[in-house]
Amino acid sequence: MINSLKTRRTIRKYSDKEVSEELINSLLADAFRASNNGNMQTYSVVVTRSHEKKEKLAPLHFNQPCFKNAPVVLTFCADFRRFSQWCEASGAVPGYNKFLSFFSAATDALLVAQTFAVAAEDAGLGLCYLGTTNYNADGIIDALELPQLVFPITTITLGWPAETPAQPDRLDPQGLIHRETYKDVDVKALYAPKEALPEMQAFVKENGKPSLAHVFTDVRYTKANNEFFSDALLKAIKRQGFIF
């Protein structure tokens, strides 16, 4: 049993203690043991430590404090470039520039990222995933100089924890598990315990909204932003040479 899975929470504040290159390399080597499509290993990881690169990346991650504060940042990329280059170097003709290739390589990258995350947290490190990677992929591509067929999928900020926040709530697992076929659940009942949490009620009040759901739809993840960043994401994927 991996106890760190049960006790985990996202960590956004890190101590000054260094995260050694040896530790990162060792955790990544373990992560690369994760399942991947056809053992093609269609992923790459870009490690950011320099002040200069962090300054470039910070606004792309909306200057989130966890980003500025982190000693190490890892950007996990879908990468069909290396494999395609190897095919070409062997005189074979690769055809890995379609949406399926993008999605398959993204899957590889996410399985590696999460294996890394589980291993890092078990080693006592704290981390935070940055969904902003999908919002500003175009700028991240420039900052990390990602060439054709390489695409930033997710980012992890990493360091030794300097906080112990409360564990966030989760929905009743039974509301997310379906047997044999998908069946709609009673959403009112499933979300009632979340809505009743004092911190959620405070959150609704702060935002001056009629319900927690409204905070999501009207403030945190609006339709207009969703449309804007969706188009930007599609454009960036095409820019990197993947065809739809």
Q: Within positions 2 to 21, which residues make up the interface with a copy of itself, using CB under 8 A?
A: 2, 5-6, 8, 10
205 contacts a copy of itself (rule: CB under 8 A):
no
Return the exposure string of 62-83: e unless at least 16 CB atoms fall within 10 Å of the residue's CB, then b. eeeebbeebbbbbbbbbbbbeb
Q: Which is nearer to a copy of itself, 123 or 162 (CB)?
A: 123
Select from 16, 22, 89, 198 the one that contacts a copy of itself (CB under 8 A).
89
User: Which single residue is written with the structure tokens 């300097």?
Assistant: 162
CB of 2 to a copy of itself, least distance (A): 5
Q: Is 142 helix (H, G, I), strand (E, B) or coil?
A: helix
* Residue 157 touches a copy of itself, criterion: CB under 8 A: no
Q: Give me the least distance between CB of 17 and a copy of itself, in Å please.
A: 19
Among 63, 199, 222, 238, binds a copy of itself (CB under 8 A): 222
Distance from C-alpha of 76 to C-alpha of 70, rounded to nearest angstrom: 16
Q: Smallest Cα–Cα separation from 71: which of 8, 141, 154, 11?
A: 11
Per-residue binding letters, 93-132, with a copy of itself (x by CB under 8 A): xxxx-xxxx-xx-xx--xx-xxx-xxx--xx----xx-x-
Q: Which stretch binds a copy of itself (CB under 8 A): 12-20, 63-71, 150-158?
A: 150-158
Q: Which one of 16, 22, 166, 173 is in contact with a copy of itself (CB under 8 A)?
A: 173
Question: CB 20 → a copy of itself: shortest distance, Å?
Answer: 14
Residue 78: CB minimum distance to a copy of itself, A: 11
| 147 interacts with a copy of itself by CB under 8 A | yes
CB 97 within 8 A of CB 137: no
Rounded to whole angstroms, the Cα distance separating 52 from 81 reads: 26
Which structure tokens are listed for 115?
A: 């294996």
171 lies in the binding site for a copy of itself (CB under 8 A): yes
Exposure pattern of 84-100 as b/e (b: 16+ CB <10 Å)? beeeeeeeeebebbeee
Residue 153 within binding range of a copy of itself, rule CB under 8 A: yes
Are 105 and 151 a contacting pair, CB within 8 Å? Answer: yes
- Give the count of beta carbons closer than 10 Å to the beta carbon of residue 132: 21
55-74 positions binding a copy of itself, by CB under 8 A: none
Is 66 within 8 Å of 12 (Cβ atoms)? yes
Output the smallest distance, CB 218 to a copy of itself, in A: 7
What's 197's DSSP letter?
A: S
Candidates 58, 160, 190, 207; binder of a copy of itself (CB under 8 A) is 190
